[in-house]
Amino acid sequence: VEEDNWDYGIDVLLKALYLGPKNAIPHMTATGGGSIINLASVHSFLQEPGMLVYESAKAGVVGMTRQMATEFGPDGIRVNAIAPGHIVGEGLAKIWKDNPTGHEFFADQYPLRRTGIPDDIANGIAFLCSEEASFITGHTLAIDGGLSVQLQEKFGLRQANYVRNNPDTNLPT
């Protein structure tokens, strides 16, 4: 990884999540507190080759969330994060529309056997901001259909079996 790529990735994926609260916390403290939700990723917990900058930054978001919860909890500020899995919004829906077999295979990685939708994320954020979550801080909520709790060592076998049973797929074997 080139140093300028590292710096750019850390700036966009981690530092930006520091700068927003840095400016908001004085106002939140003055008004009695509030809730900050940081955006982590399932990649905060699960690593993939070739993703050094992204996964390092997202793991940093988890650590920063915990530290901010410790620092600002006494001021009535709760700090949590969400860690989404694969969320299919408008852009990805267009991509998967042309490859439904690929999307089905991708969804099969998840214990719930589906990918997420934007409402899954919105509902998680709404909960963490609600009074029902008033005693939750420093937590990273995985909104990933169970991907982060599932051992992946047999994924290659499932992939090969899927391709064998779906010869029209363009997935690698």
| Catalytic sites, residue numbers | 54, 58
Beta strands in 40-86 (DSSP E): 77-84
Name the strand (E) or helix (H) holding 25: helix 16-30
Q: At what angle do helices 100-107 and 90-97 cross, to 10 degrees?
A: 120
* b/e code 80-118 from CB counts within 10 Å (16+ = b): bbbbbbbbbeeeeeeebeeeebebbbbbebbeeebbbee
Q: Please work out, in degrees rounded to the nearest 5, the angle formed at the alpha carbon of residue 14 by the alpha carbons of 89 and 115.
A: 25
| 136-151 burial: b if 16+ Cβ within 10 Å, else e | ebbbbbbbbbebbeee
What does the alpha-carbon distance between residue 161 and residue 93 come to, in Å, rounded to a whole number?
Answer: 25
